[in-house]
Structure 1
Amino acid sequence: MQDETATDRTVFSLTGGDRIHFLQGLVTNDVSDLSGRLVYAALLSPQGKYLADFFLTAQGEAILLDVKTDLAPALARRLGMYKLRADVQIAETGLHVIRGLGTPPAGALPDPRATELGWRAYADTPAGPETTDWDALRVTHCIPESGVELIPDDTYILEAGFERLNGVDFHKGCYVGQEVTARMKHKTDLKKGLVTVSITGAAPVGSEITAGDKPAGTLFTQSGGRAIAHLRYDRAEGLMQAGDATLTWDHG
Structure 2
Amino acid sequence: MCRGGRSMTLFFTGRLGNSTESSLLLECDSTVKDAILKHLKVYKIRRKVCIAPCPELAIWALLPVDKNSSSGKPEVTANKDNIVLERDPRTELMGWRLIVSHEVNPKDIIASAQVGDAEEYHRHRYKIGLPEGVSDLPPGVALPLESNLVYMNGISFSKGCYIGQELTARTHHTGVVRKRLMPVCLSTPVDGLKEGVALQTNSGKPAGKYRAGKGELGLSLIRLAHAKEPLALKASGDDNTVTLQASMPEWWPKEAK
Normalised TM-score (structure 2): 0.73
Structure that is richer in helix per residue:
2
How far residue 250 of structure 1 moved from its aligned partner, in angstroms, is 4.4
Higher radius of gyration, 1 or 2: 2
Give the RMSD, CA atoms, in angstroms: 2.2
- The reply to whether residue 110 of structure 1 matches residue 68 of structure 2 is no
Structure 2 contact 189–215 (Cα < 8 Å) conserved: no
Select which of 236, 239, 242 maps to 2:233: 242
> 2:179, 2:12 → 1: CA distance?
26
Counterpart of 2:200 in structure 1 is 210
For residue 253 of structure 2, what is the aligned residue in structure 1?
none
Greater relative contact order structure (CA < 8 Å, 6+ sep): 1
The percentage of aligned residue pairs carrying the same residue is 26
For structure 1, the residue ranges without an aligned partner over 5 or more in a row are 1-42
Runs of 4+ in 1 over 6 A off after TM superposition: none
Partner of 1:81: 42
Distance (whole Å) between structure 2 residues aligned to residue 126 and residue 179 of structure 1: 44
Q: Work out whether residues 198 and 248 of structure 1, in 8 Å CA contact, stay in contact via their aligned partners in 2.
A: yes
Distance change in 2, residues 1:92/1:251 (3 Å):
closer
Q: Match of 1:147, as an amino acid?
A: V
Paired residue for 1:121, among 85, 98, 102? 98
- Pick the aligned partner of 1:230 from 212, 221, 245: 221
Separation in 2, partners of 1:166, 1:74: 24
CA distance in 2, matches of 1:196, 1:147: 17
More strand by share: 1
2:9 matched residue in structure 1: 52
Question: Which sits farther off after the overlay, 137-146 or 69-78?
Answer: 137-146
Return closer, same or farther for 1:235/1:125 CA change in 2, 3 Å cut-off. closer
Count of aligned positions: 209
Alpha-carbon contact 2:62-2:98 (below 8 Å) kept: no
Q: Which residue of structure 2 aligns with residue 91 of structure 1?
A: 52
Bigger Cα displacement from structure 2, 68-77 vs 137-146: 137-146
Asked if 2 retains the 8 angstrom alpha-carbon contact of 1:202 and 1:222, the reply is no
Contact 1:104–1:119 (CA<8 Å) still a contact in 2?
Answer: no
Q: Quote the Cα distance in structure 1 between the aligned partners of 2:200 and 2:75.
A: 43
Instruction: Give the alignment's TM-score, normalised by structure 1.
Output: 0.74
1:176 deviates by: 1.9
Q: Which runs of 5+ in 2 are unaligned?
A: 65-73, 106-114, 235-240, 250-257
Find the partner of 1:142 among 105, 129, 133. Answer: 129
Aligned to 2:220, the other structure's residue is in SS state strand
Return the letter of the residue paired with 2:59. V
